[in-house]
Amino acid sequence: MIPHLKIILIMALVLIIGFISKPCLAREIDVNLFGFSYHFDKSGAFNRAPLRLDDAGLWVFNPGIGLGYDFRKNIHTGGLSAIIDGGFFQNCANSPFFYAGAGGRYRKFIYKKLYVEANLMGILTIGNDWDDKSYRPAAMPFANFGAGYDFGKFLTTFSVGYIPKGVGGRITNGTDMLFMDMTVSF
């Protein structure tokens, strides 16, 4: 069952407006490639997850893609900047999970072209779970930490985000989890 068409259209409109509202200020475009989640509690993990990587369902493959803007003046500099982000991925029940959000990013170059960064955002989500297949919107905080390398024409960052059990978004009803992704920025 797919989400209500009206909700999808509203989220698409918000993303479009957000991405084109100030394109002349956007200096960095992020392409997020989603990958894996790790569930801390075996009893809360999805052992029947179609894309699980182990029998208990502690590790699950969650493919998806997202787009974002970082409003810093130069992608090769550190410091604090505003960001917007949106996209979708397959949740552990193998259903689409949509999100859109805004927040801030802090990037610190630690050795030549190596850097670390932290992102903190408030996001709006639309998702479902195993027990209830109806899609519902929700708001939740999201934070992740990553390390990356500046290749000159683009940056690559590997990030891990922590999502506490029951924060909303219909993604963490059973257990706390880590969510891993890779971002290519240019």
Model pLDDT, residue 81: 96
- Is the model more confident about 16 or about 51? 51
Q: Which of 8, 14, 89 is nearest to 51 (CA)?
A: 89
Q: Is the pLDDT of residue 148 over 80?
A: yes
Residue 163's domain comprises: 5-185
Range of weakest confidence among 110-119, 125-134, 153-162: 125-134
Beta-sheet pairing, 177-185 with 96-111: unpaired
- Domain count within the chain: 1
Q: Is the pLDDT of residue 63 over 70?
A: yes
- Is the model more confident about 167 or about 5? 167
**CA 14 – CA 131 distance, rounded (Å):** 29
Q: Is the pLDDT of residue 151 over 80?
A: yes
Dihedral of CA atoms 36, 144, 123, 92 in degrees, nearest 10, equals: 20
- Whose structure tokens read 């803007």? 69
Task: Identify the helix (H) or strand (E) that includes residue 149.
Answer: strand 136-150
pLDDT-based confidence at residue 1 (cuts at 50, 70, 90): very low
**CA 101 – CA 99 distance, rounded (Å):** 7
Query: What average pLDDT does the chain have?
Result: 85
Q: Is the pLDDT of residue 24 over 70?
A: no
**CA 151 – CA 168 distance, rounded (Å):** 37
Q: Is the pLDDT of residue 21 over 70?
A: no
Model pLDDT, residue 172: 67
Please give the model's pTM, rounded to 2 decimal places.
Answer: 0.82
**CA 166 – CA 146 distance, rounded (Å):** 24
CATH code, 77: 2.40.160.20
Residue 41 phi/psi, 5-degree rounding, is -105, 120
Model pLDDT, residue 185: 94
Distance set, CA 153 to CA 27, 30, 61, 75, 98 (Å): 12, 13, 29, 9, 29
Distance between alpha carbon 6 and the CA centroid of its chain, in Å?
23
pLDDT-based confidence at residue 169 (cuts at 50, 70, 90): low
pLDDT-based confidence at residue 59 (cuts at 50, 70, 90): very high
Q: Which of 145, 126, 181, 168 is nearest to 2 (CA)?
A: 126
**CA 68 – CA 19 distance, rounded (Å):** 8
